[in-house]
Amino acid sequence: MEVRFLGHACFTLSDGGSTTVLIDPFLTGNPRGAISADDVAATTILLTHGHQDHLGDTVAIAKRTGATVVAITEIAGELGAEGVDARDPNLGGTEKFDWGTVKLVPALHTSTTPNGTVTPPAGLLINFQDTVVYHLGDTCLFSDLALVGKRTPIDIALMCIGGHYTMDRTDAVEAASLIGAKTVIPCHFNTFPAIETDAQAFKSDVESATSSNVVILEPGDTHTT
């Protein structure tokens, strides 16, 4: 399985073949976006929440590729009204695909779409061909992050570390400890000045305090399991 970082909180999960799961496709206007919204592949698009730096190019990519989108109920309703094929779970709900499943789990943040739709934000607990990937979405540190890893052993956690809009790299060390993933890949940092941070310091702190390995990806880089 290939996990490719496309900048900010955007990733693709791929089997190297015809299946590509695209998460939080903010590419147009992303100063560190690794690929154009016109070129990215997607068979399914997963959204953590409605902020523009996550919703991003979802509608255009879904219409170009025909990808099904999974988003929390009210955001899915908004996408459906724009002609996108959208599935609408709420927190706790699981959607099944031929590549695996995605469950929405809590995140602690805000979420309003550019059109004004207000919802809670989510994290994404993804089982992609038996590899478990947990995209935390935008969140602060909160103790229920531990429940996710307690219920489902996590192979890879995609974790915000940039501070200001989310937890910072020191709170994210505690989050990594609560979640207990085999591998942690940091994101949501260095896209803008407000979220600049030291990912190498995060890596050394996590690897000192926990048994997780941290893999720092530059936009465009791929981690292969």
Contacts to Mn ion by CB under 5 A: 53, 138
CB of 196 to Mn ion, least distance (A): 14
Cβ atoms within 10 A of the Cβ of 39, count?
9
Cβ atoms within 10 A of the Cβ of 180, count?
17
Phi, psi of 139 (to 5 degrees): -155, 155
CB of 48 to Ni ion, least distance (A): 8
For Ni ion, the closer CB: 168 or 205:
168
Q: Helix/strand/coil (H, E, C) string of 143-179?
A: CCHHHHHHHCCCCEEEEECECCCCCEHHHHHHHHHHH
Segment 103-162, which members bind Ni ion (CB under 5 A)? 138
For Ni ion, the closer CB: 138 or 168:
138
Q: How many residues are recorded in the chain?
A: 225
Q: What does the block give as tokens for 34?
A: 């690794």
24 binds, among Mn ion, Ni ion, none (CB under 5 to 8 A by kind): none
CB of 107 to Mn ion, least distance (A): 11
For Mn ion, the closer CB: 14 or 72:
72
For Ni ion, the closer CB: 31 or 66:
31
Segment 39-58, which members bind Ni ion (CB under 5 A)? 51
Phi, psi of 123 (to 5 degrees): -100, 165
Contact footprint for Ni ion (CB under 5 A)? 51, 138
